[in-house]
Chain A
Amino acid sequence: DQQVKQNSPSLSVQEGRISILNCDYTNSMFDYFLWYKKYPAEGPTFLISISSIKDKNEDGRFTVFLNKSAKHLSLHIVPSQPGDSAVYFCAASYNFNKFYFGSGTKLNVKP
């Protein structure tokens, strides 16, 4: 039973435009969410996080939005750059124990 879902396996965006990656979760107890980025042959690296007490967190070109009532979060990348091309994973946890990851979305930013 997958508690964190990323329904889009891939996304293609033109350089300079906005990339929007989506993530849904089923467990209403989750109170902390993260996004990770993964390049081939490397481990995932942390991008940005958000606590359930917030609905938005911004860090440079990256913004994460959380809609608790819809159990949905999204990652916005503006403007998108070719170096952003990677697989993006969302993750969720309850009380900072045991992180559940989605299946990932492969982002391709075209020059």
Chain B
Amino acid sequence: GAGVSQSPSNKVTEKGKDVELRCDPISGHTALYWYRQSLGQGLEFLIYFQGNSAPDKSGLPSDRFSAERTGGSVSTLTIQRTQQEDSAVYLCASSLQTGPNEKLFFGSGTQLSVL
């Protein structure tokens, strides 16, 4: 497809389980971002990948969260030992990183529910 694709669209898990969320960015986009939106909250930055540079992990809320980007394309966000406060919509975005007129293209998100 032409847009950012995220899977699954919905994920229900039990507290303590691990989950993996996947993001397929737009082909050719060098930058990839993960954000999350908790109920009634704004977009919280999690992690940012830019080309072959070391990722900016400054937004990850705990060491239970990790992300990787393989081959400069697909990214996986992993949450270990999920907690109820991890319940949120996890959004992935990609961009060309070309400077002026730069913009992020978002996927539809993964709704994560931790029971």
Which residues on A are within 8 Å of B, measured CB to CB?
A: 6, 32, 34, 36, 41-46, 49, 51, 89, 91, 93, 96-104
Which residues on B are within 8 Å of A, measured CB to CB?
A: 4, 33, 35, 41-43, 45, 48, 50, 56, 91, 93, 97, 99-109
- A46 and B105 contact, CB distance less than 8 A: yes
A43-B4, A98-B48 known; A103-B108 Cβ under 8 A: no
B42 to nearest A CB, angstroms? 3
- A49 and B35 contact, CB distance less than 8 A: no
Other than the known A45-B106, A96-B102, A99-B104, what 9 A-B pairs have Cβ atoms closer than 8 Å?
Answer: A36-B104, A41-B108, A42-B108, A43-B109, A44-B106, A46-B105, A98-B33, A101-B42, A101-B45
* Chain A binding surface, main DSSP class: strand
* Bound CA–CA A100/B93 (angstroms): 13
Q: Return the chain B residue nearest A51 by Cβ.
A: B100
* Bound CA–CA A78/B107 (angstroms): 28
- A102 and B42 contact, CB distance less than 8 A: yes
- B107 and A101 contact, CB distance less than 8 A: no
